[in-house]
Amino acid sequence: MKMLINVPETVVADALRGMAAAHPELTVDVENRVIVRQDAPVAGKVALVSGGGSGHEPLHGGFVGPGMLSAACPGEVFTSPVPDQMVRAAAAVDSGAGVLFIVKNYTGDVLNFDMAAELAEDEGIQVAKVLVNDDVAVTDSLYTAGRRGTGATLFVEKIAGAAAEEGQPLARVEALARQVNEGSRSFGVALSACSTPSKGSPTFDLPAGELELGVGIHGEPGRERRPMMTSGEIADFAVQAILDDLTPRNPVVVLVNGMGATPLLELYGFNAEVQRVLAQRGVVVAHTLVGNYVTSLDMAGASVTLCEVDEELLRLWNAPVRTAGLRWGV
Amino acid sequence: MKMLINVPETVVADALRGMAAAHPELTVDVENRVIVRQDAPVAGKVALVSGGGSGHEPLHGGFVGPGMLSAACPGEVFTSPVPDQMVRAAAAVDSGAGVLFIVKNYTGDVLNFDMAAELAEDEGIQVAKVLVNDDVAVTDSLYTAGRRGTGATLFVEKIAGAAAEEGQPLARVEALARQVNEGSRSFGVALSACSTPSKGSPTFDLPAGELELGVGIHGEPGRERRPMMTSGEIADFAVQAILDDLTPRNPVVVLVNGMGATPLLELYGFNAEVQRVLAQRGVVVAHTLVGNYVTSLDMAGASVTLCEVDEELLRLWNAPVRTAGLRWGV
């Protein structure tokens, strides 16, 4: 598999250098692998720190900025960042109002963020944590005990980030993050495998003419393989899987997310089918986002995330945000 | 090649339905294939209309909105829209201040926009045209007499769009668009071919281990094929090709553009190398944009566009824009 890289060993560092050049509004510590909003720490404001393996861009570094994350820690490709990065990030952004760690549910991330929380607390930083585990496809998986964290991460980071930006206290920001996660569900499909730079070839085999229903964002196996389906059939399956597990009483925000290699033309077409199924099921849509937000390197495919929002969550969702990957209202 | 579609025949219509659902701030006429900003016509404002074959999203429909295009006409995949679409778009957005057609230099687009201009003028609409032809890779090509129009289209649409939004007259908006095109140069590389829905398989053969230097946005042949190069070597080649043809006396805005299937992680790493070469060559960078803006379906690869900007062009570049694909300042 050909890649636009120098050597696998420098992929993450190279990307951070390129991000620093494109985004002078961020402080990018290439050596220590921490991306921080430039005005941090913001006096009196709760700070939000997330991170995870690289290869899911714009998640998480692309979501650092006013109204969303205070800092992000990128690990090696598909590998958790280390506790040192997280502690360094927390120290850089804590104003004394405390730090919320937003952790996708993968074993390495959970262990490392747990350790980082202890270390940060030893340094006098107040830390709360929220675990994101929205993927309904499978219960346990290659990298996970329990449900995997995927698209809901964007909703947690955006909505909790807006609350923090308004000056809400740590306990409230944490409670909102938890509420967002509890009201969110995702389901993804792969049309092709992805290739990591270190392996240089597809991480799994997906035969021509088949798709993987319920794939994880690292290419982990999903529920089943089937002969290729139409966009409409995939939307039926994915939304059904979500609504088997979530009965929204409020409107939802919809994320139709590309895995990386699926053209935007196809993602918009898929969104038309997702909206059709939601309308048929009587689900009210408050807002829809279509694009590549939580990617899996060069995987072809898409995921759907629904996030149930009450008036307060919708207000926070719509609040201004200014990051590399998500921007409105400013 | 597996695709996230229903049937090839409905790909464009499906995408427009999905775009309409995600973007209530746009008026999407699915049947007639015209995307219009909802508040058009804006009294006293020059209108900008562009369009071209589908498969390059977010170009052009994703650039409709305040500060950029007034309307876009998507054709079939890699096929020019027809004059009827363009006339309909012009009629929908003209406030009496005139319409600027922004035309990428491909034979079909040029002929159809010419015909549309005549028809629109017959209806009493004042029309000016600007041709975008920034690609230095080859002089003539599969779909083109003369240089192809690629990444500079984004700069023309953004900067001319900002001038129109300020209320500048048609002659001035046209002159600015022309100045942007004349000061812009692009060069693209492909690591893989793209597949159109109707063909269902790659539109050209690119052997394992080779890349195409100077590829066009429909997969048209470039200058040469070589064994795979590193990101740094590609940046050296691409920037050199551009600077052979453009000697910037002012700062440049840089677009590091993904062709569709190259991960953002790699694009940022490539940007680091592009910035290195520009610094070595003494080119001053005013702003950099990294992402998928002018795509080629599922092609892997990237292009670099430099746009030389004086103070006025840079001011217009930085002016607020609110579209699906580019947004800042509002």
CATH number, domain with residue A288: 3.30.1180.20
Asked if A190 and A166 sit in the same domain, the reply is: no
Asked if A67 and A173 sit in the same domain, the reply is: yes
Residue scoring higher pLDDT (B221 or A299): A299
| Nearest CB neighbour to A21, from listed B5, B275, B302 | B275
Residues of A whose CB is below 8 A from B327: 327-328
Could you give the residue ranges of the DSSP H alpha helices within A95-210? 107-122, 152-165, 170-182
Confidence of residue B21 (pLDDT cuts 50, 70, 90): very high
Is the minimum CB–CB distance between B200 and chain A shorter than 8 Å?
A: no
Taking residues B120-126, report their average pLDDT.
Answer: 98
Cβ <8 Å between B265 and A55: yes
User: Measured between alpha carbons, how far is residue A154 from residues A115, A138, B195, B246, B327 in Å?
Assistant: 24, 20, 30, 41, 18
Report the 10 Å Cβ neighbour count for A99: 30
Q: Which DSSP category does A281 fall into?
A: T
Whether the upstream peptide bond of residue A41 has omega within 30° of 0, thus cis, is yes
Cβ <8 Å between A18 and B272: yes
Helix (H) or strand (E) run with residue A71 in it: strand A71-77
Asked if A243 and A136 sit in the same domain, the reply is: no
Residues of B whose CB is below 8 A from A207: none
Asked if A166 and A284 sit in the same domain, the reply is: no
pLDDT at A152: 98
Q: Which residues in chain B (65-84) have CB-CB distances under 8 A to chain A?
A: 77
Helix (H) or strand (E) run with residue B176 in it: helix B170-182
Residues of B whose CB is below 8 A from A21: 271-272, 275, 285, 288
CA distance A90 to chain B (A): 24
Asked if B115 and B191 sit in the same domain, the reply is: no
Under a CB-based contact definition with an 8 Å cutoff, are residues B140 and B37 in contact? Answer: no
Residue with the two structure tokens 């289209």: B153
Helix (H) or strand (E) run with residue A303 in it: strand A301-308
CA terminus-to-terminus distance, chain B: 40
Residues paired with residue B212 on neighbouring β-strands, in sequence order:
B190, B225
| Number of structural domains found in chain A | 2
- Whether residue B276 is contained in a domain is answered as yes
ipTM over 0.95: yes
Asked if A170 and A239 sit in the same domain, the reply is: no
Is the minimum CB–CB distance between A226 and chain B shorter than 8 Å?
A: no
pLDDT 10s digits, B144-201: 889 999 999 999 999 999 999 999 999 999 999 999 999 999 999 999 999 999 999 9
pLDDT at A140: 77
- Whether residue A37 is contained in a domain is answered as yes
Taking residues B63-83, report their average pLDDT.
Answer: 98
Asked if B258 and B137 sit in the same domain, the reply is: no
| Nearest CB neighbour to A288, from listed B4, B21, B230 | B21
Residues of B whose CB is below 8 A from A320: none
Give the domain-ending residue among A141, A160, A183: A183
pLDDT at A144: 80
- The interaxial angle of helices A170-182 and A152-165, nearest 10 deg, is 160
Angstrom distance (rounded) from CA B252 to CA B111: 32
Under a CB-based contact definition with an 8 Å cutoff, are residues A31 and A53 in contact? Answer: no
Give the domain-ending residue among A124, A156, A183: A183
Residue range(s) defining the domain that contains residue B257: 184-316
Confidence of residue B2 (pLDDT cuts 50, 70, 90): very high
Count Cβ–Cβ pairs < 8 Å, chain A vs chain B. Answer: 200
- Whether residue B104 is contained in a domain is answered as yes
B97 three-class SS: coil
Q: Is B60 a catalytic residue?
A: no
Residue with the two structure tokens 């694909």: B325
In this prediction, the residues of chain A whose per-residue pLDDT falls under 70 are none
Cβ <8 Å between A266 and B4: yes
pLDDT, mean over chain B: 97
CA atoms within 13 A on the CB side of B14: 26
Give the domain-ending residue among A125, A150, A183: A183
pLDDT at B330: 79
pLDDT 10s digits, A152-205: 999 999 999 999 999 999 999 999 999 999 999 999 999 999 999 999 999 988
Q: Which residues of A form the catalytic set?
A: 56, 218
pLDDT, mean over chain A: 97
Asked if A225 and A151 sit in the same domain, the reply is: no
Asked if A143 and A193 sit in the same domain, the reply is: no
Asked if B163 and B199 sit in the same domain, the reply is: no
Asked if A260 and A278 sit in the same domain, the reply is: yes
Residues of B whose CB is below 8 A from A58: 264
Asked if A238 and A293 sit in the same domain, the reply is: yes
Does the structure show a pLDDT above 90 at B143?
A: no
pLDDT at A33: 98
Under a CB-based contact definition with an 8 Å cutoff, are residues A104 and A176 in contact? Answer: no
pLDDT 10s digits, B241-272: 999 999 999 999 999 999 999 999 999 999 99
pLDDT at B174: 98
Taking residues B211-239, report their average pLDDT.
Answer: 96
